[in-house]
Amino acid sequence: MLTNRIAVLFSGFLLLTLLSATTQAETSALQAEQDHGSTAREIVGKLEMLHYNKLKVGDEMSEGLWDEYVEALDPTKSYFLASDIAEFREWRTKLDDQLRAGDVKAGFEIYNRYRLRVTDRLNNIVSQLDKGLPAFDFTRDESLALDREESQWPASISAADELWRKRLKSSVLNLRLTGKEDEEIRDLLSRRYKGQLKRVEQQNSDDVFELYMNSLTRLYDPHSNYLSPRSLENFNMSMSLSLEGIGAVLQAEEEYTKVARLVAGGPADRTGKIKPNDKIVAVGQDKEGEMVDVVGWRLDDVVDLIRGAAGTFVRLETIPTGGDGSHKTILIQRSKVKLEDQAAKKATFEFSDGEKSYKIGVINLPTFYIDFEAYRRRDPNYKSTTRDVARLLAELKEEKVDGIILDLRNNGGGSLQEATMLTDLFIDQGPVVQIRHANEQISRHNRSRSRAMYRGPLMVLINRLSASASEIFAGAIQDYNRGLVVGNQSFGKGTVQTMAPLKEGQLKITQSKFYRVSGDSTQHAGVTPDIPMPQLIDAESVGESAYDTALPWDKIHAVPHAKYFNLKDLLPDLISKHNQRTSADPDFIFLREQFQYESERADRKFVSLNEFAREEERKNLNERLLTMENRRRTAKGLEPYASFEAYEESESEDVATIGGPVEIKLEKDPILNEAGYIMADFIGLGEKMSKTPPQVADFNSR
C-alpha cells in the first residue's frame, strides 16, 4: 500500500479490558441493510462490465480486497491484534464469492471487531486523561516508528499497550514543543479522543458498506469509487458554483485531513502558506475563535467546519509537509472561487541571450475552464480557456513579443474540449489526443483550424501538479515539436471517469485512457520535460505513480502528425546554457538545497521521544534553513535575516487577498525567470540557424 512517509502521531495506551469490549460489541455491532447486498452485486457487475481495467473477479481479487479493507481500517496496525488478523484470514479467498451472492457479512464482522478495539482503546485513554496527564520521562532515549507499513500487528495486549504508550508520549511531546502547558495538553487530548470516540459511535451501516465497497473499487484504480447517497449529496454540493470556502481539495489519510491540492486562484492558494500534503490538525472560526482539534474527524465533518460564507475568516493549524513536526497557524478569508479568478492572464518581460534582448510574453493558465451554462444558452460572450487565450495572444501580438511561455504549473486539468481547442491556436490541422475505451475502441480528437493563430516561438512550463488536460496539451506540443516543454515530470493522470447510476448511490468509474499522438500514454508516466528544472514536489508522494493501484503506462500505435521545430539539434546547447547559468544562481542553489532538506525529512524512519534531542533537532533544522536562506540573500545583495523568526515572518502575508487574478511576478519565481532566459536562448539559436525568428511557416520538417 502507499507508504505514508509523514509521522502519524497517535495517542493512547493502557490495558484493553476485554470484558467491556465484549459488552460494547454486543450493543453497538452494525449490520448490513437489506439493500446493501443487491447494491454490492450491482457494483461488481458494473466494474466487470464497464471498467477499463479488466480485473478478474476471483481468489486473487478477493485477497486484494481483504488486504485493502484491513489496511483502510487500520493503516498503522495500531488497533487490531495479530489474533484478530489470524481469525479474519478465513475470508481471504472467499470475499469474491460472497459479493457475487450479495453477501457483505464479512465486511461488517471485520468492521465490528475494529470498532470494538477502537472504542475500548479510546474509552480507556479518555478515562486516564480525565484523571490527569500521565507522567512521561522525556529524558529517556526511545523512539517511535514513523511508518508501520512493514510492521506486524501487536502480538498481545501488552505489546499494543506499549505501542500506544509511545504514541501518547509522542503526542504530548509534540504539544509541549509548541509551548503548551501540561493542563492545556491534557484538555486538548481529552477533547480529541472524546471527539474520535463520538465519531466512531456515530458510524452507521451505510458508512461501513461504503468503506467496504471503496476497498473493492480501489483495486481497479485509485479514481474509481462508490458514493453512498450521503456522499453523493456532498459530492454534488462540492461541484456547485455556489460553494464557498478556502479553495482546497482535502482527503483523509489515516487520522489526519490532508491537503490534496489547491484550487488555483483560491484563498488558500493566495496565502502562499499551504502546500499539498500539509496536514490540518485544528480549525478556528474568525480571527479569535477557539481552535477545534480535528485529528481523527471524518473528512466531511472537517470540510463542514472549514466551509463558510464568503468574506468570513477561518484559521487552520497545520503540520507542514517535510517540516520538523511543528505546527503553523494560517488565517484565510473565505471567498467564492470565481471563474474570473481562474482566468488566463498575461504579462511581458525582457530577457537577453547575452547578445540580444527579447520581449517574452507569459500566459498563466491555472485551469482549463469553460462557462458551460453560458455556452448552453448560446451567450456569445461565454468565457472559456481558448477564447481568453486567443484574446491574450492577439494583445501580445500587438505588443510585438518575440516568444510566448504558456505556464501550466499547478494546472490540474479541467475541460478536455478546451485542452484540444487550445491546441488549435498553436498547431496546424492534425490529431491532438487519442482515447482508448474499455471496449478497446480508439477515438481521436483532431484540431479544427487549418492554420495556427500563433506561429512564433513557444514554451510550455509544467510541474508535478500539471495533470490531465494539461498533460494532453503539453504532450501534443511536445509530439509536434511545436515548442519546448520545460519544468518537471507532470502528474500522470491519463484516465477518464464517468458516473454510473446505481439503485442506491452512484459509481464513479474509469472507462477510458488518454494517449498522445505519438502513441505514448500520459497515464502514470506523465509528460517528461525537454529541459528539467529543480524539483520542488516529491514525486514519490505526489502524482499518479504514488498510488499503488494506478493503471500502468503503455503505448498504442502512433498517428501521423507533423513535426515542426528541429528541437533535437537545439536542445544540447539550450541545456548547456541553462546548466551553466543556474549552477551558480543563488535561487536555484536554494531550491536544490530546499528539496534535499525536505527529502531527508521525508526519509526519516523514526522520531525521537527525548525532549532535549527534539529541541536540538528543531534548533539545527531552523539554523540550516536560515543559513540556506541567508546564503541566497547575501549572494543577491540582500540583507540577511537576523533570526529564524524574522525569516518565517517574511515568508508571506497574514491573509489571502480576495478577488481578481493573481499578478504574474518574477521576483519570487526563479523557475519562471529562468524559463524566460531559456526562451531567449531558444529564439537566439533559432535565428542563428535559420537567419529569421523560428515560426510555424518556416518549419522544415513536415
Mind telling me the catalytic residues?
A: 468, 479, 493
Going from the C-alpha of 697 to that of each of 402, 406, 415, the distances in angstroms are 15, 20, 29
Helices (H), 537-669: 567-582, 586-602, 611-635, 644-650
Please give the distance of CA 491 from its chain centroid, rounded to a whole number: 9
Which residue is listed with cell 537567419? 691
The CA dihedral of 298, 301, 303, 305, to the nearest 10 degrees, is -140
**How far is 660 from 672, CA to CA, in rounded Å?**
21
**How far is 243 from 307, CA to CA, in rounded Å?**
8
Q: What share of the chain is helix, strand, coil (3-state, %, to 5)?
A: 45, 15, 40
The closest alpha carbon to 464, from 391, 537, 519, 522, belongs to 537
β-partners of residue 498 are 509
Please provide the distance, in angstroms rounded to a whole number, between the alpha carbons at the two ends of the chain: 47
Cell of 662: 493573481
Total Cβ atoms within 10 A of residue 131: 8
β-partners of residue 291 are 284
Which residues are CB-neighbours of 103 under 8 A, at least 6 positions away? 37, 40
Which residue is listed with cell 481578481? 660
Pairing of strands 403-407, 458-462: parallel
Look up residue 398 and give its amino acid: E
Task: Write the DSSP symbol of residue 147.
Answer: -
Task: Write the DSSP symbol of residue 104.
Answer: -
**How far is 28 from 203, CA to CA, in rounded Å?**
10
The closest alpha carbon to 682, from 452, 350, 352, belongs to 352
Total Cβ atoms within 10 A of residue 443: 10
**How far is 89 from 87, CA to CA, in rounded Å?**
6
Q: Is the CB of residue 320 less than 8 Å from the CB of residue 328?
A: yes
